[in-house]
Structure formats: C-alpha cells, structure tokens
Structure 1
Amino acid sequence: MTSASLHSRKSPESQPAGDASARNEERGGNAENSRAGSPETGRPKERDPFFDNAKYLAIALVACGHAWEPLRDGSRTAAALYIFVYAFHMPAFIIISGYFSRSFTARPAQLKRLITGVAVPYIIFEVAYTLFKRVANDDPTYPISLLDPWYLTWFLVALVVWRLSTPLWKIARWPVPLALAIAVLAAVSPDIGDDLDLQRVLQFMPFFVLGLVLKPEHFQLLRRREAKLLSLPVISGALLFAYWAAPRMNAAWFYKRDSAQELGAPAWTGGLMTLALFGCSTLLAACFFVWVPKRTMWFTALGAGTLYGYLLHGFLAKGSRFWDWYELPWLHTADGMIALTVFAAALVTSLCTPPVQRMFRFAMEPRMEWAFRKDPAGTARSRTADDVRPDAQRTPVPAGR
C-alpha cells in the first residue's frame, strides 16, 4: 500500500461489513429480535439467536476481508474471496440494521439511545483513530475532522442518518425504489464531496430501506431446506465469477465511496452498476442468511458485541499496514493466507467477548444520564406500571409457568 493511500480517509479497508447494527437496536426491547415474555410474569424477552449469529458471522467476515486486502495483488484467490465477501457482507449488516430500526419513531428514549450508542462512539473513535494514525504512521499534523469520517467510523455516521430518516421511509409508498433512485443519482454525482461520507450513506441506503420493509416471515422463508438447496448454485456461481473478475474488475465499486466518474468510468455505468450490485448483493446476502444457524451456538452471545469487535479490530488492521507487517513474504503464501484468516477471525471473536465489552462500555455505550433531561411522562408511566404490577417484579415466577 502506498503512503498516499494511507493518508487517504477513503482507504479500501475502511469498508466494514459490520452492523454494526449495534446493540442499540436490541436495547430498546425490539420485538423483532425477541419473543415476548408473559405479560403476567414480567419475564424479560428472549433474543432470537439467528440474528446474533448473523451479526457475529458477518463481523468475522469483516475482519477476514481486511486481512485479505493487502494480499490481492499477489494472489488471485485472495482477490476473488475479497470480491465475493465484499459483495454481501456490508449489505447483510445494513439489512439487519434496517430490520431492527422498524420500530424507530424518534421517541425521546430512542433518540437518547441513538446518541449514546452511535453518535457518541463515532466522536470518540473518530478522535481515537486520528490520534492513532498520528502516532503509528508518524503523521503528527493529520487533522481531526468530525465531518470527514476516517476508516471504520463512516458506518456510525451512516447509521445515524439512516435511522433518523426511518419515519420518512415508513410513509413512502415505494420506499425501496425511491432509495434506489437516490443511490443511482449519487453514483453519477461526483460533486457530492467527502462530508459525512455522503456517497456511502446514499449508495448503501437501499439496503437499510430494504431491511425496514422486511417482515419476520421473509426470514422464515430463508430457514426452509429448499432455500439452502437453491443457494448452493448461486454461491458456487458467485465464487466462479469472482475468480474470473478478480483481475478485471475494480473492487472499489463495492465500497460505494465514489461516483462512476471518480472511478474513471462513464456516468451511465454508475446507475447500471448500482442496480446490478443491489440485485447481486441482496441475493448473496439472502444466501448468507440461509446458512446462518438458527439455534443457539457457542458464538451466539458474541453477536451482542459486534460493534466492539468492529471498531476495536480497526486499530490492529490499520497498524498492520503502518508497521509493514505484510512485507513478510510468508504471509503471501497459501499457508500465510490461511493463518491470517484464522488470526483475524480469532481476534475479532475475542474483541466481542463480555470482558472486552465491560472494559470499553464507557466508550461504546455510555449512559450519560447527566446529559439528558428527565422525561416526566416516562417517569409517570414507570410509576404506574410499578403500582399496577407489584407482584410481577417482586414475586418469584413458579417453575413451569
């Protein structure tokens, strides 16, 4: 990687696949990721392991993709796997984020969670990444800019914008076609600029809107055995196409950070590629969901900590470039690539664990009660609930009830 690319805020590896549909979507008690407990017992709702599994597997693919990125020039296999994974891992994460945003109506409690769980982590990590770059890359003058996200933080900006726009998409008659039209216009508009990474926000937005319109029954269809059988030829064909396209295709199309003209292509290709990649990415994301386990697995609990793995692994991913770790010839062999893949998956797995979550919760999920006015109506509702259901909170639930 050249020094010019390291100084750019639009580096290829800044493309996550990750949610980060952070824990905020579930913290509000969304029914989409839980099965409601008995209103009489007051039992807490249960998380659906399918979505936690999907988020963990997606974030593992994020880390693997970042590990493969420097290997692409010397390995067609690495380049093909990189293209294949980048075609769906980010769309899958964004679809999940949209799905868990369906109940967002900009209520005070929801806005508070959006600020503390997405906006504040963006500010903290934008500053932290910039300071890290200054030290690790010996670039002491590199500026801190909250309007120009660097590396992984762009996704947090996008999530804030998308979620705030949710009420508008919910009243639109044809939300997905409208979002696609906006994405097409962005793809042919080179003057949009870098502020808030607006190109990515607009070009990835159709996947968020698609998640908003999906219903539980759509995911149920993907749990059928027939869906697995149908996905096999799709995945096989996609891998073969990625291997063919690796030396011929500009992978920057998958980052959606530039217009067609900025990629050196005619303007009309921007609209065509936007529509083609939306169809391709949606199909591959569906195939990914088909193979996500539906039952509780050893990694299911880690799905609640994917934002931690996403943001924290970026320091090592970037550091490996700054410190020239990829200069080691062995890493560019088949054994080296396998070892890197295992290491990347293990690293991000460790960063999603509860001890790491407890250590960095101050930055990822700060409570910040001091920053918000108390909601008298919410306090009154809470008191009313306590008065009406005292037994539900103090009386043990009989076994088997």
Structure 2
Amino acid sequence: MEKIQGRHTPLRRSLWIVGIYLLVGWLWITFSDYLVQQWFPDPETLSRVQTYKGAFFVLVTALVLFLSLIRQFVSDRTLLSLNVRQQEEIRELNQFRESVIERANVWINVLDPEGRVVLWNKAAEDISGYPREEVMDSDAIWQWLYPEEENRVRIRERANEILRDEGEVVGYETWITTRNGRERQLSWNSRSLRNDAGEITGSIAIGQDITDIREAENTLRWRERQLSTIMDNLPGMAYRCRYDEFWTMLSVSNGCLELTGYEPHELVNNSLVSYAKLIDEACNETILRTVESAIGNAEPFSIEYPITRKDGRKIWVWERGRGVEGEGELVLEGIILDISDRKELEEELSELATRDSLTGVLNRREMTRILEEEIARAKRYDRELALLWIDFDHFKAINDDHGHAAGDPC
C-alpha cells in the first residue's frame, strides 16, 4: 500500500511526466529529421520543412501544456471547493458535537492516556461542583472525587484498564464526593478512544447521577416491606382481583390461608380454584349487583355473604372494596374478613329477642308482632284467621309448691 501511494506522490508524478516528455521529444527530433532528409533532399526545401516541423512541435507542445494546465486548474478548483465544503462540515459537526455535549444532562468527560482531563461538560460541573478551569489538563480530580485512598486506587485501576484497551465499563456504580462535601452515586459507561491509526488516545466516560433514583428505590422497597408486614398481620385477606365472572385474584395476602383454607398461590390466577367457586351460588347475583352499583357511582362497596372453605366448613365473610384502574383494566381492591362469630352472636341475640329462653316458643313481643302482621294480611285479602291457644292446667301449682327450678324441667 505504501509503494502504491508513493508512486502517486507529486514529485514522482512530475518526474514521470518530464521523462515521458524528453523521450517523446528526442524520438520526434531524431526520426522526424531522418524522414525529412530522406523525403526532401533539396537544402532550401529541407530548411523550410525543418522550420515548419519545429513550429508544429512547439504548437503541439503548447496545446498539450495548455490542456494539462486546464485539467490541473479544474482539478485544483474542484479539490479546493471540496476542501472548503469539508472544512465547513467539520466546523458544523464540531459545533453540533460541542452543543450536544454541553447540553447533555449526563456527566461527560474525556481523559488523555495519562488520566488527565481534556473534556469536562457542564453536567460534570453541576454534579461535581468543580468548574472545568480547575480540572482541565490535570489528574487532581481523582483525589477530589475519591478522597478515600483504597477506593480511589481501585477505581483508578479500572480506568487504566480502559486506557490499556482491556475492556469497557457498562453500568459501573461509584460514590463520589462533591466539592461541597456531599456524596453522590453515579452509574458509569466508559470505553477507550482511538485515532485513525488505531492508537489509543484516551477514554470517554459518561456518568448518570442515580442518587435520587436509588433513594427512591430504597424508599419504595421500605414501603413495600411495611405494606407487606401490615397486610400479613391483617385479620383477614387483602386482595386485588379482576372484575370478571370468576373474581380472578391477582394477588392476596397471607391471611388467605386462615380465611379460606387455600394457600395464596392456589387462588391467584385461579391456579387451583377461583374465588367465585367459594361463594354460595345463591349470593352471586346479589354480590354482582352490589359491585356494579358501587363502580357505577364511583363508591366503595360493602357486602356480607357465606363462603365454603377448603375443608368444607361454611363461614360468613364481610367484604369491602372498590374498583380502580390498573394496567389498562378495571380491577377490584379490598379486604375480606371472617364475621362468622358476629353472625352467630347476631342469631343468638335475635333468638333471645324473639323467643322464650326456657321453652323456645315465641315471646309476647314477637307474638304480638306476628299477630299484627297476620291480622293485617287477613284484612287485606279478606280471609279468616285462626288462633290456637294452649293452656297447661295446674302448672302454677308445681312452681308454687316445688319452685321454679323444679318447674322448668317439667
């Protein structure tokens, strides 16, 4: 490749042209003189022909020289115009590059092979607090950003590996100390730079300040742990489910096992059974209407209904939830509590309020209420009403003679 390029250098090209010109001129003079002498033996005629021959040679030489100069001038003009355009494109490219680098919202710096800063953009200034006037053409920034020696040596060695072309860095996270003493966490991408000859001329590093991102992630993880702890200790089952005919559970708390007898993973996505299968079929229509009405009014819903546990035992539950938009679909979020004890207590209280605790027959208040309803119904439909009255004779004597303790078993 070097020999081919050398053959076309201006000096060699000029020497070739001169050599060819001398050879052609010598051949022309030698052979033309010989032919003219053979064709025109008369001295006077020979003299005139020699004059014409010389004039012709000068004319041809001038024409060739003229064409060569014209071709060279056109070529030079084309090259000059191309060079001007290239210079303009390079200038625009440099302006664009500098504009992009300066306006980038990420830290960009370039180091020379000795680790000295040769480029330091505005984001690097803003994040580190060090202006470019203080860091350019210096490697002091390493000590400023990483004051702890062991950490600085480790990171500097990583940068030297890039300068030795021993790989590149992607997502390498470090903590830096800014000029005001604050610590910031950055994620780095870095690689070596090469010239046209393939030689390493330095390295470029792009850093993103991820301090706020990491703090937000830590806060989110803490809140998730806190929420998980709260949900796992709730008396019942917190849930998130699809608004479909199966009430497909997307997530449930660990209280699912105690409430339904099923492990959470057995209910999620209807893996083993759908929640709709646990609900008493007679209640499905009522539940659906209640939920539809609440969603239509953008209100939470509350409803009580029985379910059948995995062990076959029926319990009563109270559910409170509301519809929310999640991942492009309407879902339900809420909590379900076991209210079986409360239901039993309500039934006991209802029994005590309407029946005699000793005999189990209706008490006076409930009997009066029922009689009033039946009398009103008989009047409304114009029909007769019958009442059976049973009296136990001499029962009072037993209580009087032997006491109520003996009379109750009777």
TM-score, normalization by structure 1: 0.17
Bigger Cα Rg: 2
